[in-house]
Structure 1
Amino acid sequence: MKISHLLLLLLLFPFTNRTNAQAKDSQKILQIVYTSDQHYGITRKNFQGAENVNSRIVNKVLVAKINSLPGLSLPQDNGVGAGKKIGYIDYLAQTGDIANRQEVPLQSATVSWHEFAHDYLKGLTTKDHRNKKTRFLIVPGNHDVSNAIGHYKSLQPLTDATAMVSIYNLMMHPAVPKTNATFNYATDKVNYSRDISGIHFMFITIWPDSLTRIWMERDLQQVSTATPVIIFAHDPPDGDPKHFMNPVAPYTINAKDKFENLLTEKFKDSVTVKKDLNDKIEQRGFVAFIKKHPNIKAYFHGHSNANEYYYYKGPDNDINLPAFRVDSPMKGKSSSTDETKLSFQFIAIDTRSKTMTVRECLWDTAPDAPASPLVWGESSTISLK
C-alpha cells in the first residue's frame, strides 16, 4: 500500500504543478474581444448571398464567429501571444448603439435590447482564463441615449429607455434596479471602472466632456500614476459636435439647432449644428486632462465605424494618444457596402511587460462560404508603460 501511495503522489504532483503553471501563465495575458454599433432594427443591403438582411441575422453570425475564437491560434505577427492558441476570452467590450434610432422600420429600443440580450448575453458561449463565463463591459451609444431622452427626428415610441436602463442595471449594479419610469439620464450615467490584471479600464457614457471628467478625475485619484489607464467610449476622442448640449436657451432638443443633448457640457463653438462644425474648444478640455494624466495610454471607440489604429493629436497637434476605432456589423464605413471587410477586434495584453496588441478579426471574407474561419487582418502593438 505504501508503494502504491508513493506512486500515486509522484504521478499526482507533476500533474498538479503543470495545471497550476498553465493557470498562472494564462493570467499573464488578458484577452478581450471588442465590438460596437450592433444597430439592431435595421438591415444590410447584402450579406452572405441574401439581400436586405435583418441585423438579427448578421449579429448572430458575428457571435458565432466570436464563439469560434478559443479554438483558433493567434497569427505569427510578433504581437502579444503570437502563434499561441487563444483558448479563452476574459471580456467582451461593447461601446453602444445596441438600439437604432429613426431609420425605417423604426424598431423600438425594447425589442432591440431583447434581441441583443438573447444573441450576445445568452448566445456568447466562451469562457475566461478561470473557465468562467466571459464577462461583458458595455457603455451606451448615441442611439441608445436618444431613444431614452428623445430626438428631433421622429421616433417610435417618442422615448424608450429600455436599452439605457438595461445597460445601467447590468454595469452599475444599483441597489434598487432602475426602471424606465425611475431612470433619469441627467443623474444615471453609465460611468464605471475596472482594475484588471494591473490595468485600469474606464468605461464612460458617449465622450469625456467636462462633467464626465469630474468623475474620471475622482476615479483616477485612487489609481497609481504607474498604472496604465485605457478608456472605452462610444464617440472618438475628437468628439461629435451635435452630441453636446444645445447652448441656446431653453437648451432643448429641436430641429432648428439640431443638438442632441447627449452630453452635459454646453457647446461653445457655435449656436447651431452645421456642416464641418468643429469642437476645438471642448477637445482642448479633454487634451488638458490627458496631459495631466500621462498614464492614460489608449482610447477605444466606435460611432464612426471602421477598423483603424491611429494617434489622436488633439486640435492643436500637441498630444499623441493611441486610438483604436472598431467596425460595425451594420454601419461600417467600408464594410456596409463590402462585407468582406466586416471586422471586430481582439485585444491581447501582456500584463507583465505591459504590452498590448490589437488585432483585426475579419469574419466574413468568404460570403459564399459562411462556415469558413475568420481571417486575421491588421494589427498594432503598443507599450502601456
Structure 2
Amino acid sequence: MAMRKYCLLFFVVTCLYGCSDYKSESVFITGNIKGLGNDTICVYGVDDFFNFTDTIYVVDDEFSYTIQADTVGQIILCFNHTQTYPVFFDKRDKITIEGNVDCLNKLVIKGNLANESLGTFLWNLECMGKLPPEKRLEAEVDSFIHKNPSSPVSVYLLDTYFVKKAQPDYGKIKQLMEAMTGQLRNKPYVEKLKATIDLSEKAEQGKIVPSFSVPDTNGKKTTYTSLDSKYILIHFWASQDDESRFVNAKLREVNRIYKRRKKQNDKKELSLLGISFDVDKESWKQAIKKDTLAWKQVCDLSGWNSNIVGQYAIEKLPSNILISSTGKVIARNIEWDSLSVKLSKLLKEE
C-alpha cells in the first residue's frame, strides 16, 4: 500500500513539473486592434517555424494566443489575407500588440527587443513624412543592418526592401548578408538566399546562359539557339499560376507587334519562348490553347525539379530573361513597358 502511495506521489510531481515546464516554454501574445471586430488572423511561421500555420480568433477587437517555443523565432500575422506584420519572440516572452485596423503597418508590439526596434525603425521612416525615395530608404536599411548585425529584424528588412524588389541587386544583398553575425547567416532563410544568389550570378546580366534541350508540344527537342532571332525573351510560367496566365495575355500583344516587324531576308528582332514548369502535359497543352499562345512552348514536365530552375536561377513565376541570339543575358524580369525601349536601343547600337 505504501509503495502505491509513493508511486502516485511521484506521478503527480512529474505531471506538475511537466506542466510547469510546458508553461515556461510558452510565448504568450495578447492584442487589442481597434476596428478588427470578430475577425481572424492567419499565422505563418518563419525559419525554424517554417511549417507552422495557425489561426487566431479575434473577439471584440481583442485576442490572446500561445506558442510553444524553446528558442527564438518569428511568425507573420496576416490580416484580411493581404496585410502582413512580423512578430519576433523568445521562449517565455509575454508580448502585447496594440493598433488600429486602419494602420496595420504601424502596430505597437512590446515584450521583445526585436519588435520594439522594428517599431522604432518604421516610426522613424514615418517621421520623414511620405515614404522616402528608394535610395534613401535603402540607405536607412543599410545603416540599421550594420548597427544591428545580430538582430532578426535585419533579416526581415533585407528581405522586405532588397530581396523582394523586381530587380534585386544581389551584389548589395551579399554585402549586407556579410555584415550580419554568423548566427544570422546560419538561419535557413539566409542560407537559402545565399544559394539563390550563387545561382543567380550564373545567369546575371552579361553572362552567357547555358543551353538546354526541352521538348515542345509535339515532343520535338528545342533550344533557344534554334530560334532565328536577334533577341529572345524567355518566359517562365505554369498553367496553374494565375499571374502567369495574366502575363500570357500581355505576351500575345508583344508577339503580334514583333512578328509583324520582321524584314525579308533578315532575322526577327524578337522571338518569344515559353518554358513551363508544369507536371501534367494535358493541363499545359490546354492552357496553351486557351491562352492562344502562338509562339514556341516547351516543357520537360518536371515542375520545380526541372534542371532549368537552377540553370536560370528562377525563384518565382512568372519570370523572364531577355537574351541575345548567342545567349548573353540582356535583362532579367524586364517590365513590358521597358521592353520596346530596351530593344530599340539595342537595335540602334548594332
More helix by share: 2
Greater RCO (CA < 8 Å, at least 6 residues apart) = 1
State whether TM-score is above 0.5. Answer: no
With normalisation by structure 2, the TM-score equals 0.27
Whichever of the two has the greater Rg, that structure is 2
With normalisation by structure 1, the TM-score equals 0.25
